[in-house]
Chain A
Amino acid sequence: METVDIHHLKAGEVNLGTSIMAVQFDGGVVIGADSRTTSGSYIVNRVTDKLTCVHDRIYCCRSGSAADTQAIADLAHYYLQIVTQSTERPPTVYNAARIFEKFCYENKDALSAGIIVAGWDKEQGPSVYNIPLGGGLFRQPWAIGGSGSTYVYGYCDATYQEGWGRDQTIEFVKNTLALAMSRDGSSGGVIRMAVIQESGVERLFVPGDQLPRFWEGREVIGSLSAAPTLAQGQVPIEVEE
């Protein structure tokens, strides 16, 4: 079957390589992203903010084409303001997610955008919605996205526990993103996070030199730390002191 590769970026288009994630906890959500934007192999922006505010307590994490996701986020921000004015109450996260889903699904041929919508509202409390490339809408307790996410599915599946508090969730997000950033070439820079609760939004920042570190590899063959061994039968030369 011949398939047209519609999800590939066009030549010269700026790419949000990316590792993004959002995790729900009791009382709020923690969202996080790396900060690298690439065009081919050149890093156009090494301190990007991929966590975009679309309403007071609703954020989206952007991955895929920078132009597409910025345009979609701007439109969603606009429509949510209209909705707020006409309903005279803050929109629900589901409402916001549906607006994103509508754009992503109806324009799936022309767009290359993977978005995670997360936030807090009065009706549902905290929620996380994943909207991958095709424009489907999936509510999940935790969601990961972007090119770097493929490397950390195992880590997330093994580590995630329900019932975590705010600090444990922040640790989970930080560690996952650090692992993704260390393996994915299109992810890197700094970790930006945001904690969204009823009381407000708190922005967190982890500089590139303070990322959590894991196993960083060690040379085994030709290791300098190993003492040189004599070949069989060789007699060491006597040295006069």
Chain B
Amino acid sequence: MANIYNKPGFDFSNVIRNSFLEAKGIPLPKATSTGTTIVGCLYKDGVVLGADTRATSGPIVADKNCEKIHYIAENIRCCGAGTAADTEFTTALISSNIALHALQTGRIPRVVTAMTMLKQMLFRYQGHIGAALVLGGVDETGPNLFTVAPHGSTDKLPYVTMGSGSLAAMAIFETEWQAGLERDAAVDLVSKAIQAGIFNDLGSGSNVDVCIITKDRTEMLRNYLTPNEKVEKEKRYKFSRGTTDWKRDREIVRSLVVHEETRPIAAGDDTMDTS
């Protein structure tokens, strides 16, 4: 195998592997999507963000407890829906740039700054970066809450939802949100909205994460609610020893073997066996 630690330039060995697999009829894996219900709402002292914790790869649940509330700054957090890799990397990039910006300006970063950085990057990529974000935080202008859509449009609202479960969550918000909620009421409302997504949307599920941001502190309540814990099975399904009598059958099984060959694996020879 080529020594990848010395070669210059890009490593395209995965391209060779992928075209080989495709020729064999194995399709490329679907990008992990976060399916998702993410929400945010303003309350009396700041912002509450909420998210479910299911990441899907097509119809399969790839991660039952992923974290969708990403760190942007001490006073700013961002929930991400859409393609998991895109939300992860986009928020990480803007978080890094915000940290540099804060050092350069000597000020606590503003939520609009993060919003502008996100929207200008997503617009540049014309929607090819599939990141739908709920950005919230508290800065010197007060609490702020924005949505950023994959094509780069933003909305500034007192309560927002994004992701495949957004309609279920928005129904809860439209019914029950009021201005100036207390902290507990706001957290309850956000949990209720996320649970609406978890139980009514197939792309969302598992647990509820909540993050409360005020001017003094940010509190991350990871797995605030876990309404989908695996229940203990009602029966024991283990077979008792001696259920299968194998000693007698061993001779019968051996007699069925047609051809046997032992090939030692040479040390250092790890080329793929294509025979």
- Report which A residues bind B (CB closer than 8 A): 10, 12-14, 37, 39, 42, 44-45, 47-48, 65-67, 70-71, 74, 110
Contacts and interface: CB of A to CB of B under 8 A. Distances in A.
B18 to A, nearest CB: 26
A42, A47, A48, A70, most chain B CB atoms within 10 A = A70
Contacts of A37: 153, 155
Given A10-B151, A13-B151, A14-B151, A67 B157 contact: no
B218 interface: no
Given A42-B167, A45-B157, A71 B149 contact: no
Nearest to A37: B155
Q: Which 8 residue pairs of A and B lie closest in terms of their CB atoms, listed nearest first?
A: A66-B153, A67-B151, A67-B153, A67-B152, A45-B155, A14-B153, A13-B151, A71-B123
A70 B157 contact: no
Contacts of A12: 127, 150-151
B151 A65 contact: yes
Interface in B74-125: 116, 119-120, 122-123
Contacts of B122: 67
A168 to B, nearest CB: 33
B154 interface: yes
Interface residues on B, range: 10 to 19
Given A12-B127, A13-B127, A44 B150 contact: no
B5 to A, nearest CB: 42
Contacts of B116: 74
B149 A67 contact: yes
Contact of A10 (B123, B127, B154, B167): B127
Contacts of A66: 149, 151, 153
Contacts of A13: 127, 149, 151
A70 B150 contact: no
A13 B167 CA distance: 17
A67 B123 contact: yes
B150 A65 contact: no
Contacts of A42: 167
Contacts of B155: 37, 44-45, 48
Interface string B115-159: 010011011001100000000000000000001011111110100
A65 B167 contact: no
A133 B147 CA distance: 26
A42 to B, nearest CB: 7
A74 B149 CA distance: 16
Nearest to B130: A12
Contacts of A71: 119-120, 123, 152
Contacts of B147: 44
A37 B157 CA distance: 13
A5 to B, nearest CB: 17
A13 B152 CA distance: 9
Nearest to B124: A71
B119 A70 contact: yes
A70 B167 CA distance: 24
Nearest to A11: B127
A217 B255 CA distance: 88
Contacts of B153: 14, 37, 65-67, 70
Contact of B152 (A44, A70, A110): A70
B157 A47 contact: yes
Interface in B150-175: 150-155, 157, 167
Contacts of B123: 67, 71
8 contacts: A13-B149, A66-B151, A66-B153, A67-B127, A67-B149, A67-B153, A70-B119, A71-B119
Contacts of A65: 151, 153
